[in-house]
Structure 1
Amino acid sequence: MAPIDPSESARAYLAYHLKRLREERGWSQPALGAKIHVSGSLISGIETRIRRATLKNLQALDRVFGLDQFFAPLYPRILEETGLPAGFPEFADAEAAAGMIRSYQNFVIHGLFQTADYARAVLAAGEQPTKLERLVNTRLERQEVLGQEDPPAIIILLDASILRRPFGGPEVMRVQLEHLLTLAELPHAYIHIVPESAELCPEGSFTLLSSPGEPDVSYVEMAGGRGQLIDDDEYVAELGILFELIRSKALTAEDSVAAIRKALEEL
């Protein structure tokens, strides 16, 4: 791999100096990861610029290296370079730190539960190939939360029409629905299908993030892949009530699995 030019970008600057400081101290990537409570693969990804550091990561790096605001101030520049819709990187960081994730989706399967091909089909409209792959990789990176040592509880409400909306074609949908069935077996993942007969009209998708000792926040999705992270207590509370109203109309987890199996058989 060619040497990194730290003047090329904020991510290049981070990668160059992170590797330099780590090697000066004789730490392996897993050893540094353990010090800031992340995986060695994340450290490797940051150093090779295929993974994005969160603000929490950068603050932890400053702390472990004994630096004063060296890495953390890079965060706004790194966000600018991602090419992701405004508001989404902050949501991804909050999602990764959440103790519970609750989400209602009325058009597509939640990003944490998407296969690569399904995500590619969902994100493809109007995107250049290089940017599309960056967006897909970012979405797949988020899914690491599912397999971490202490994963969040995840409750996903999916409108029934999603099971029959053929993003990517029948084979992509087949693999995606099989993936949903696999995820439904996880002890911390709960999938509920909202039948089309449910008399509800939430008018859009939204996600609620909760952690012990912290106020809930929400992320409201908009057209074009954009969204807004919301910390207004009153509005977040309203969305919490709406989520529970929708869940009251949803199928049980067991019946939801049966509905997914039925949709799979009908492909």
Structure 2
Amino acid sequence: MDIDPSASAAEQYAYRLRLYRERAELTQDDVGRECIISGKMIGHFENGRRIPTLDVSKGLDRLFNLDRYFEELHPHVVREVTLPMGFAEYIEYEQQAASLKVYEPQFVPGLLQSETYARALLSAANRGDRLERGLAVRMGRQDILQRDEPPFIVVLIKEAALREPVGGVDVMREQLAHLLEMMERPNISIQVIPAGRPVYLSSGFTLLGFVEGLGIGYADAAGGYGHLIQAPQQVHELAIRFEQIRGEALSWSESEKRIRAFLEEM
């Protein structure tokens, strides 16, 4: 996309990043090493296809010796993609997590969505630039899966979420195939909760674990207006609930067979 720094905070961010990098005579790989991400990701930031995190923004300020320029621009970029502030904060924690436990009753979780599936979901309420920026955030979250030491992820997903033909049959076939590919990774476990099992929570939640420090939770809500859960007792209660739900799910191998069967039925 053509970058116009006067059009939005996101495009100003992209334009300035390229400008400061080229002035410093640094490659995208050089900047990536300083920010502990790939040079390819720096390229995505510069062409507006990904939204940088707050930690990356602080790293850019340090690298270019700027007085919190990118750090202060970051919340304006987040607001443009209409991310609720609670979720924006959650994304920052997600980027640092060593483990994630996800329960999702309605849709394939964002970290495991194919781009066409994500676009179909987001297009229901977004158009034009707003859609593209929202998609950039959604797909950008998946960068943690490409880390040298990616987080360990356990996903519990209700069968109904895998039968809902989001975007049509072709999109859903691609999404199911993508899930099967993700299941081949040693750090990702997906378990299906069959229809009829006594799991009646209407909204999903996520538990984040860290190498150091206490874990936190995030509970979904309508329209994306969820909230962070940091009180140790509440996080502990969510962890117990997760294990109770997991007890109703199929095993990894049975889940793989069930997803493959859904794919073959389409």
TM-score (norm 1): 0.90
Go from structure 1 to structure 2 and tell me whether the alpha carbon gap of 1:174 and 1:60 turns closer, same or farther (over 3 Å shift).
same
Report if aligned partners of 2:3, 2:47 keep a CA contact under 8 Å in 1: no
Report if aligned partners of 2:61, 2:68 keep a CA contact under 8 Å in 1: yes
Go from structure 1 to structure 2 and tell me whether the alpha carbon gap of 1:86 and 1:73 turns closer, same or farther (over 3 Å shift).
closer
- Confirm whether residue 246 of structure 1 aligns to residue 245 of structure 2: yes
CA distance in 1, matches of 2:213, 2:81: 27
Return 5+ residue gaps in structure 2 as ranges: none
Q: How far off its partner does 1:169 sit?
A: 2.0
Return 5+ residue gaps in structure 1 as ranges: none
CA distance in 2, matches of 1:123, 1:48: 21
Q: How far off its partner does 1:263 sit?
A: 1.5
Report if aligned partners of 1:205, 1:220 keep a CA contact under 8 Å in 2: yes
Q: Give 1:209's aligned residue.
A: 208
Q: How far off its partner does 1:3 sit?
A: 7.2
CA distance in 2, matches of 1:65, 1:131: 29
Equivalent pairs: percent with the same residue? Answer: 38
Q: How far off its partner does 1:163 sit?
A: 1.9
- Confirm whether residue 43 of structure 1 aligns to residue 42 of structure 2: yes
Structure 1 counterpart SS, 2:40: helix
Q: How far off its partner does 1:46 sit?
A: 2.4
Letter in 2 for 1:261: R
Q: Give 1:76's aligned residue.
A: 75
- Confirm whether residue 226 of structure 1 aligns to residue 225 of structure 2: yes
Letter in 1 for 2:103: Y
Q: Give 2:199's aligned residue.
A: 200
Q: Give 1:186's aligned residue.
A: 185
Q: Give 2:113's aligned residue.
A: 114
CA distance in 2, matches of 1:172, 1:4: 32
- Across the aligned residues of Structure 1 and Structure 2, the Cα RMSD in angstroms comes to 2.1
CA distance in 1, matches of 2:159, 2:15: 47
TM-score (norm 2): 0.90
Range with greater deviation from structure 2 (237-246 or 128-137): 128-137
Go from structure 1 to structure 2 and tell me whether the alpha carbon gap of 1:214 and 1:110 turns closer, same or farther (over 3 Å shift).
same
Letter in 2 for 1:167: V
How many residue pairs get aligned? The number is 266
- The Cα offsets for residues 50-83 of structure 1, whole Å up to 9 and x where unpaired, read as 3212110111122233344333222222222222
Structure 2 counterpart SS, 1:101: strand
Report if aligned partners of 1:164, 1:263 keep a CA contact under 8 Å in 2: yes
Q: Give 2:130's aligned residue.
A: 131
Go from structure 1 to structure 2 and tell me whether the alpha carbon gap of 1:174 and 1:251 turns closer, same or farther (over 3 Å shift).
same
Go from structure 1 to structure 2 and tell me whether the alpha carbon gap of 1:77 and 1:121 turns closer, same or farther (over 3 Å shift).
closer
- Confirm whether residue 105 of structure 1 aligns to residue 104 of structure 2: yes
